[in-house]
DNA sequence: AATGAATGAGGGTTCATTCAT
DNA sequence: AATGAATGAACCCTCATTCAT
């Protein structure tokens, strides 16, 4: 295991300070103090305070995107399989966010108003996720699992409910355990809705 | 109808500039130029740049909260009534956001990283809405409309899906028409879920 | 007489400090201290330290250029008239430089290595003066006053001798009196080389 | 012939970079990159960025001074001999400057505002050259070649015209050929003003 | 001799805020 | 109430210099 490099220390310290103070209030001098290096050292590894933030955001987006974000319909034989894949998928992303609370918080909350480039990264990510979600709705409907729904609207609803759980339960409250259970509760609601039965809801 | 006061002009200008530039990049001098007054005038009406932003946020929170956010169970006789109340409630909030895109954007996106006090206002609002939502889940279950669900988790899911529609479809895309239809699509998904039927989902 | 404005104070202070310390070593804080204003005030009147310097250079170039730099052949009837015009012209420029030693020094010595724009202003000025000088050589030759000389080379020689007197005698030594006498000595040397004549030198 | 030492490489690289960027904008890191050595190596050979520049200036001053700067009256029998010695002298200095354009440019243009010590070297050089020139005027007058002129003023004029040719024609334009011809043109102008003669100019 | 990562003092610039008019 | 010139604290970034290897 190699010794911790200054670059590592700085990125870690940057995540911490950006998170504690917010992007604008964070001072480069705080980051370097936190990292235990001199101020000038920051600029050996990052061209600017801005770019260090962008790199954090890019890293997080790559990290999340490396998780399987799409359903594998080949392996889905029935509703239960589908439900399981959703639970797996949600759980893995919950886990990544739980493991990187600081950066996840920056990504979802701070990025839009921190920096244009960072905002673009987040925006692209959101669009990508909504697109995948919308496609899944179409695919699932074709295969007879899902009702016919407005894909554009409902994909946003799905992403939104997932995102708010991440923000409130994982990031804000700091929950790191029983994330699968959390995913199961969410998926149960997602697939069946609030009403006790189809009958009751429409009668 | 009173003449437009400087305070009004400034608040309007502030909303515009904060929205265009972001809280930190917005300059008091831009706001006053936009409002057509001298820079010093700003400080006759607001003690600080920070406080002007906070007042915008408070106003928006009041505005939203003035809409009926709670279900009126007295007037609900069946699932369809419930569904209608949800649609009405969602539509009215959609409308408020559509009418105040700038401030809504600031409230939901910028507030958390703009200023501590503003973040607290948004946080309190979110907690309030989630609380109402959770209570509704309990009430609805008691009355036999809703399945037994983890209220804390599902209330967040519900708020999240609603919020993401606001953010993406109304604020970002700027949709201002057929908001009731949007609410209907959302409520339909909310109450019945994705799966074609209770049968299919569990079989 | 209006009260001294901050702009005036600052330009004067800037000339002094740039001259004392050199462009690069000069600090904006020194200039404002010298001017008796706060640091930020500097930026009410100049967009940058660089631009303040450029404005000084531009002002000096305009100042010099406002002096009649060209001979008026209409008023020249003989060699003595010509000699007098040269003496007048040189004296007036000597005077301007003597009245603005600081800025003249900056213009001729510091500008080239201070800033690209300032260097360009000085360069353009030098080219202009050499061009006028070369044209005068041609005109004077046509009229029978001057020998046939390589105008491009000799115009540079003439500008050079004039410039070095300015730099060494007026700027460096600070001579401010009997400038006409100085000009006469110089012209005497200059014309005995320019005017058609025969004699010891070629025998 | 010894292998090129790092010191040589660095001095050559320094001349290039100082010339391209100017003294202040030149970075030690650029010089070492240009020389193909590590940054720290610079400080094995020079105590500071400043001193490297001073050494360049000192070298150039020595180089120029090694040329015969004085007239050899023993070998002057008539005006033509004198003219020839001047042409030889000017040509040799032209040649040195043409062979070292970069450093010559630094010496004459950058030194005054680059560094106090460098400015002093240039100043001393200029004073020396003007002194020699003034002495030659006196000597030449005593021997009946030159008219009686104000030695202090005219020596500066002579140095100035020579210097401006160097700056504009050799350094700025980069002329490296027919330098003797250039010297002849200059001397021709110079002596017709210096030598006792009669003619149109005074009539 | 040579390296190059690390240092940290220093200064140009911004802009929220003040206050004399 | 309104003005807008003036203020000055704050902070990012540069780069000459050092030093452990």
Compute how many other C-beta atoms are within 10 angstroms of the C-beta atom of residue D131.
14
Give the integer Cα–Cα distance in Å for C32 and C34. Answer: 5
**Any bridge partners for residue B146, and if so which?**
A195
Could you tell me the two tokens for D134?
Answer: 């003034």
Q: D183: left (phi > 0), else alpha (psi -120 to 50), else beta?
A: alpha
Residues counted in chain D: 203
Our CA-based measurement puts residue A43 at a distance from the nearest CA of chain B, in whole angstroms, of 23
Give the integer Cα–Cα distance in Å for D164 and D144. Answer: 28
Could you tell me the two tokens for A158?
Answer: 């799905």
pLDDT in tens, C119-169: 999 999 999 999 999 999 999 988 888 888 899 999 999 999 999 999 999
Could you tell me the two tokens for D194?
Answer: 């210096």
pLDDT in tens, D106-157: 999 999 999 999 999 999 999 999 999 999 999 998 888 888 889 999 999 9
Give the integer Cα–Cα distance in Å for B114 and B105. Answer: 12
Do B and D make contact, counting contact as 3+ CB pairs within 8 angstroms? no
The Å distance, CA of C160 to C1' of F16, is 37
pLDDT in tens, A122-174: 999 999 999 999 999 999 999 999 999 999 999 999 999 999 999 999 999 99
For position C80, what pLDDT does the model report? 87
Between B79, B158, B160, which is nearest A202 by CB? B79
Cβ–Cβ of A146/B194 closer than 8 Å?
Answer: yes
The runs of H, that is alpha helices, within chain A are 6-21, 28-35, 39-45, 49-66, 79-99, 101-105, 111-114, 116-142, 151-165, 179-192, 198-202
Phi, psi (degrees; rounded to nearest 5) at D115:
-165, 145
pLDDT class of B2 with cuts at 50, 70, 90: very low
Give the integer Cα–Cα distance in Å for D59 and C167. Answer: 24
pLDDT in tens, C47-99: 999 999 999 999 999 999 998 778 999 999 988 899 999 999 999 999 999 99
Q: In the 8-state DSSP scheme, what is residue A195?
A: B
Closest CA to C29 of C20, C45, C42, C18: C42
Closest CA to B26 of B86, B122, B106, B128: B106
Give the integer Cα–Cα distance in Å for D102 and B73. Answer: 90
**C189, C198, C199, C203: best mutation site toward chain D, by most D Cβ within 10 Å?**
C189
With distances taken from each CA to the C1' atom of nucleotide E10, the closest residue turns out to be C27
Q: Is the CB of C34 under 7 A from strand F?
A: no
pLDDT in tens, B148-160: 999 999 999 999 9
Residue A202 has pLDDT above 90, yes or no: no
Give the integer Cα–Cα distance in Å for A133 and A155. Answer: 5
Angle at A140 (CA atoms; ends A135, A146), nearest 5 degrees: 120
If you measure CA to CA, which chain C residue comes closest to D22?
Answer: C113
pLDDT class of B4 with cuts at 50, 70, 90: low
pLDDT in tens, C157-196: 999 999 999 999 999 999 999 999 999 999 999 988 444 3
**Any bridge partners for residue B147, and if so which?**
none
pLDDT in tens, A93-123: 999 999 999 999 999 999 999 999 999 999 9
Give the integer Cα–Cα distance in Å for A49 and C20. Answer: 36
State the residue for tokens 């690069």.
C24
Could you tell me the two tokens for D70?
Answer: 């004085």
Closest CA to C127 of C138, C115, C119: C119
Our CA-based measurement puts residue D43 at a distance from the nearest CA of chain C, in whole angstroms, of 23
For position A201, what pLDDT does the model report? 43
Q: In the 8-state DSSP scheme, what is residue C24?
A: T
Give the integer Cα–Cα distance in Å for D14 and D56. Answer: 8
Cβ–Cβ of B185/A158 closer than 8 Å?
Answer: no
Q: Is the CB of B4 under 7 A from strand F?
A: no
**D77, D90, D94, D168: best mutation site toward chain C, by most C Cβ within 10 Å?**
D168
The helix or strand, by DSSP H or E, that contains position C198, with its residue range, turns out to be strand C197-199
Cβ–Cβ of C188/D149 closer than 8 Å?
Answer: yes
Mean pLDDT of chain D: 90
The Å distance, CA of A65 to C1' of F6, is 52
pLDDT class of C200 with cuts at 50, 70, 90: very low
In chain B the domains, ranked by start, together with CATH numbers, are 1-46 (1.10.10.60), 54-196 (1.10.357.10)
Between B83, B165, B200, which is nearest A79 by CB? B200
The runs of H, that is alpha helices, within C100-145 are 101-105, 111-114, 116-142
Could you tell me the two tokens for D128?
Answer: 């020396």
The Å distance, CA of B175 to C1' of F13, is 43
Which residues in A14-31 are b (16+ Cβ under 10 Å) and which e? Answer: bbbbbbeebbbebebebb
For position D41, what pLDDT does the model report? 97
Cβ neighbours of B156 in A, within 8 Å: 161, 164-165, 168-169
Provide Rg for chain C, Cα atoms. 20
């Amino acid at each position: 295991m190699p010794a911790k490099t200054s670059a590592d220390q700085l990125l870690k310290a940057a995540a911490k300070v950006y998170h504690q103070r917010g992007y604008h209030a964070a001072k480069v001098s705080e980051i370097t103090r936190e990292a235990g290096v001199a101020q000038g050292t920051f600029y050996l590894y990052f061209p600017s305070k801005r770019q260090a933030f962008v790199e954090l955001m890019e890293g997080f987006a790559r990290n999340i995107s490396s998780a399987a974000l799409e359903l594998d319909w080949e392996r889905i034989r029935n509703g239960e399989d589908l439900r399981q894949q959703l639970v797996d998928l949600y759980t893995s992303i919950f886990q990544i966010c739980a493991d990187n609370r600081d950066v996840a918080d920056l990504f979802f909350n701070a990025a839009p108003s921190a920096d244009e480039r960072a905002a673009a990264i987040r925006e692209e990510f959101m669009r990508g996720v909504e697109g995948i979600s919308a496609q899944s709705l179409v695919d699932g409907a074709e295969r007879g699992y899902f009702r016919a729904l407005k894909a554009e609207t409902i994909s946003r609803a799905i992403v939104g409910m997932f995102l708010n759980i991440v923000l409130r339960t994982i990031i804000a409250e700091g929950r790191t355990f029983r994330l699968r259970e959390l995913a199961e509760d969410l998926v149960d609601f997602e697939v069946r809705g609030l009403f006790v039965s189809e009958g009751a809801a429409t009668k």
